[in-house]
Structure 1
Amino acid sequence: MITREQIPTVLDHPVHDTDGTKIGDAKHVFLDDATGRPEWVSVKTGLFGTSESFVPIHDASIVEDHLEVPYAKDTVKDAPNVDVDAGGHLSEEEEHRLYEHYGIDWDAAWQQADRPGDAGRAHTGTSGDVGPRETTGTPGTPGTRAGTPGTRAGTDDAMTRSEERMTVGTERHEAGRARLRKYVVTEEVQQTVPVRHEEVRVEREPITDENRDAALSGPEISEAEHEVTLHEERPVAQTETVPVERVRMSTEERTDEETVRGRVRKERIEAEGTEDAQGTDQRRRDE
């Protein structure tokens, strides 16, 4: 259980769930009207801390430099949205919805809280700093938010005006995948090559003085054969593998511009009830 003395150790420090996963950062601690004990902690969640979820602090514990709550991260992020008013007060209906979300028995929690008599169930106050605070008030009525100007002992007569600023950043996501894949295809190719072959040609020559001796060298009349072998060329195809190119993939980064729109809240301060010398109401609005 977190005590009021430990509140400075909790504020603006990480909040982890039961698995040790960071949920966000603690921004405010809400105190019980009747007992003054820390009851709820608001956790800034979301990409830029734009959401604020409430989680019970009763069973939380401080571990090293962070607050550990006995709830899963998704459970905390899905908690009912509670819009705390300027007084920093949780209504009974809002608190009831939070109890139901976290599976806490409303009546049992009320009995165990050691509240005086039949005082109403009103929880209020956020702790933005430490020091004297007005946190109890009348049971059953909205109390005051600790750390709000005008509620601290010894505060001055000035009012602080605050506003939200939108911070835009980027995060890297996987947008797709590209791959090189090599596969084999078969193509029909055609090439013309010259081929040679031998043909028989019969040559006849008359008997002359030059070939007479060769012509009379054999028998006068006989049968004979003379054979000639013919040759021809045939096309022969074979394949060989040769490298033709190398292919690789690379990435290049390009920068585009996108417009991000959001809503931010600003506080305005105006003076009411002041009159000038002519009796007209003077109202000054701080823009």
Structure 2
Amino acid sequence: MQTEIRNLLECHVVGSDGQSIGKVGQIYLNDHSGEPEWVTVRTGFFGMKQTFVPLANSRRSGDEIRVPFDKEMIKGAPNIDVDDRLSLSEEADLYRYYGMQPTDIPRQRTGEARTRGPVTGERERNGLTGEAAGLTGERAGMTGGMAGGMTGGVTDERDIEMTRSEEQLHIGKESRETGRVRLHKYVETENVQQTIPLSHEEVVVEREPIRDGQAAGTYEIQAEDREMILHEERAVVGKETKPVERIHVRKQDVQHEETVEGQVRKERLEIDEEGVTGDEKDMPFGRRGDMPPGR
């Protein structure tokens, strides 16, 4: 028994996602069976605190203990002082967090501790004493149980159950600003040329000689002035403002499709049946109850 516990203290805990959780710090034994039921692992986030991990349904391979919980779930386990034995309420909180319900917890007396105090590396080096060192018979039969896969929460009742949960991806929509459109009017000046016809008056002098006999009357020599007014056309520039175009800017909705990806986690259940033949395991689960008990 001491050798097996010493071997556990040298193991590393690996989560179901394949990530290393940490080295085993302490081991908690069950008061009734004397077998390891909990180990603590330092996760690096709680200082002197360590995180409790149940050994139920775990698998040991060499110096690794693979537990059916991922690293994030183990890191979020309730913080419990590892310097003392687990109380009934503390262990119930841990089992509730990990989604497990051992059937012997309700039969514990109020205030009675269900597990022994922690077994640490220091205690193992100094030699286990008292109940931990004196375990024999069934309690010392941990070799096969730990090497072949740790089990916990054993019950003699007819039905056992476990809740399986999974995450669902919920995708929504949000509106965000992508840009702004401004309608701005400014004045631009340009030179315009246009040719138009203009007219002006000029003086034309015509002389006509007067023949004898054509002039009648008497003429005297004297000074005399007469005048006429000459006219011309000039180009006159005038401007007029009138509307030439109306600009209308509006928004419209354009529909498109976008593929959104996300990761969701699902809990899977593995059912291990001891003493069941290969043919029995290959049989559909719903029909196993029709077979006579193999034990």
Please identify which structure carries the higher strand content: 1
Please identify which structure carries the higher helix content: 2
TM value normalised by structure 1:
0.45
- Compare CA radii of gyration and give the structure with the larger one: 2
Greater relative CO (CA pairs within 8 A, separation 6+)? 2
TM value normalised by structure 2:
0.44
